[in-house]
Chain A
Amino acid sequence: MLTDESRNPMENGPTTPLESLRQRRFLISAWPWRSLGYLLTTALVAAAVGVPWLILGTPWLFALHRLTSGGFQPVESRLGVVLFGTLLGAVLIAVCGPLIGLPVAALERRRLRLISTRPVESGHARVREPGPWPWLRTRYTEAATWRAVGYTFLLVTAAPLLYGAVLLVPLLILTLLAAPFLVADGSGPFEIGRITIDSAASARWAALVGLLLFPLVPYLLALLAGAHGAVARLLLHRGADDRLRAELVEVAHSRARLVDAFESERRRIERDLHDGAQQRLVSLTLQLGLARLDLPAESPAAGPLATAHEQAKQAMVELREIIHGIHPQILTERGLPAALAELADRCPIPVTVQGDLSGRLPGHLEAATYFVVAEALTNAARHSAATGVRVDLARQDGQLTVRISDDGHGGADPAHGTGLTGLADRLAAVGGRMLLSSPPGGPTLLQVELPCPR
Chain B
Amino acid sequence: MSPVTRVVLAEDGVLLREGLVGLLDRFGFTVVAAVGDADALVAAAAEQQPDLVVTDVRMPPDFTDEGLRAAVRLRHDRPELAVVVLSQYVRPGYAAELLESGDGQRVGYLLKDRVVDVAEFAAVLHQVVAGGTVVDPEVVRHLLRRRRDPLARLSVRERDVLALIAEGRSNASIARALVVSEAAVGKHVGSILAKLDLPPTEDTNRRVLAVLAYLGSGAGSSAD
| Chain A interface residues (CB < 8 Å from chain B) | 275, 279-280, 282-283, 285-290, 292-293, 309, 312-313, 316-317, 320, 329-330, 333-335, 337-338, 341-342, 345, 350, 352
Q: Which of A275, A285, A337, A350 contacts B223 (CB 8 A)?
A: A337
13 example contacts (A-B, Cβ-Cβ < 8 A) are as follows A279-B15, A282-B13, A282-B19, A282-B113, A283-B13, A287-B19, A290-B22, A290-B26, A316-B113, A320-B113, A333-B64, A337-B223, A341-B222
CA separation between A334 and B68, bound complex, in Å?
15
Shortest CB-to-CB span from A279 to chain B, Å, is 4
Shortest CB-to-CB span from B131 to chain A, Å, is 26
The 4 closest A-B pairs by CB, nearest first: A283-B15, A289-B118, A285-B116, A279-B13
Q: Most chain-A CB neighbours within 10 Å: which of B20, B115, B116, B118?
A: B116
Instruction: List residues 169-193 of chain B with CB under 8 A from any CB of chain A.
Output: none
Interface size on B, residues (CB 8 A): 28
CA separation between A350 and B147, bound complex, in Å?
7
- Are A286's CB and B16's CB within 8 A? yes
Apart from A282-B16, A312-B116, A313-B116, what 16 extra A-B contacts exist at CB < 8 Å?
Answer: A275-B13, A279-B15, A282-B113, A283-B18, A283-B19, A286-B118, A288-B116, A289-B117, A316-B113, A320-B113, A333-B64, A334-B223, A341-B221, A341-B223, A345-B146, A352-B147
Shortest CB-to-CB span from B12 to chain A, Å, is 9
Known: A279-B13, A293-B118, A316-B116. A286 touches B223 (CB 8 A): no
Chain B 146-168 near chain A by CB (<8 Å), digits 1 or 0: 11100000000000000000000
CA separation between A287 and B22, bound complex, in Å?
9
Q: Most chain-A CB neighbours within 10 Å: which of B15, B115, B119?
A: B15
- Are A293's CB and B119's CB within 8 A? yes
The interface residues of chain A lying within 8 Å CB-to-CB of B16 are 279, 282-283, 286
Instruction: List residues 98-125 of chain B with CB under 8 A from any CB of chain A.
Output: 112-113, 115-119
Shortest CB-to-CB span from B7 to chain A, Å, is 16
CA separation between A6 and B15, bound complex, in Å?
72
CA separation between A141 and B221, bound complex, in Å?
43
CA separation between A282 and B119, bound complex, in Å?
15
Return the chain B residue nearest A356 by Cβ.
B223
Shortest CB-to-CB span from B48 to chain A, Å, is 24
Shortest CB-to-CB span from A350 to chain B, Å, is 5
Q: Which of B89, B116, B146 contacts A282 (CB 8 A)?
A: B116
B88 interface hit (Cβ, 8 Å): yes
Known: A279-B13, A283-B19. A330 touches B112 (CB 8 A): no
Q: Which of A280, A330, A345 contacts B145 (CB 8 A)?
A: A345
CA separation between A345 and B115, bound complex, in Å?
24
Shortest CB-to-CB span from A277 to chain B, Å, is 11
Known: A279-B13, A279-B15, A341-B222. A286 touches B23 (CB 8 A): yes
CA separation between A74 and B84, bound complex, in Å?
89
Return the chain A residue nearest B116 by Cβ.
A285
B78 interface hit (Cβ, 8 Å): no
Shortest CB-to-CB span from A272 to chain B, Å, is 13
CA separation between A341 and B23, bound complex, in Å?
35
Shortest CB-to-CB span from A402 to chain B, Å, is 16
B76 interface hit (Cβ, 8 Å): no
- Are A293's CB and B113's CB within 8 A? no
Return the chain A residue nearest B27 by Cβ.
A293
Shortest CB-to-CB span from B58 to chain A, Å, is 8
Return the chain A residue nearest B18 by Cβ.
A283
The interface residues of chain B lying within 8 Å CB-to-CB of A334 are 223
The interface residues of chain B lying within 8 Å CB-to-CB of A341 are 221-223
B195 interface hit (Cβ, 8 Å): no
Shortest CB-to-CB span from B123 to chain A, Å, is 13
The interface residues of chain A lying within 8 Å CB-to-CB of B148 are 352
Return the chain A residue nearest B64 by Cβ.
A333
Return the chain A residue nearest B119 by Cβ.
A293
Return the chain B residue nearest A288 by Cβ.
B116
Shortest CB-to-CB span from B10 to chain A, Å, is 15
Return the chain A residue nearest B20 by Cβ.
A286
The interface residues of chain B lying within 8 Å CB-to-CB of A345 are 142, 145-146
Shortest CB-to-CB span from A294 to chain B, Å, is 8
CA separation between A313 and B117, bound complex, in Å?
9
Return the chain A residue nearest B223 by Cβ.
A337
The interface residues of chain B lying within 8 Å CB-to-CB of A282 are 13, 16, 19, 112-113, 115-116
The interface residues of chain A lying within 8 Å CB-to-CB of B20 are 286
- Are B89's CB and A329's CB within 8 A? yes
The interface residues of chain A lying within 8 Å CB-to-CB of B117 are 289
- Are B26's CB and A293's CB within 8 A? yes
Chain B 212-223 near chain A by CB (<8 Å), digits 1 or 0: 000000000111
Shortest CB-to-CB span from A296 to chain B, Å, is 15
CA separation between A309 and B58, bound complex, in Å?
26
Known: A335-B223, A337-B223, A338-B223. A290 touches B23 (CB 8 A): yes
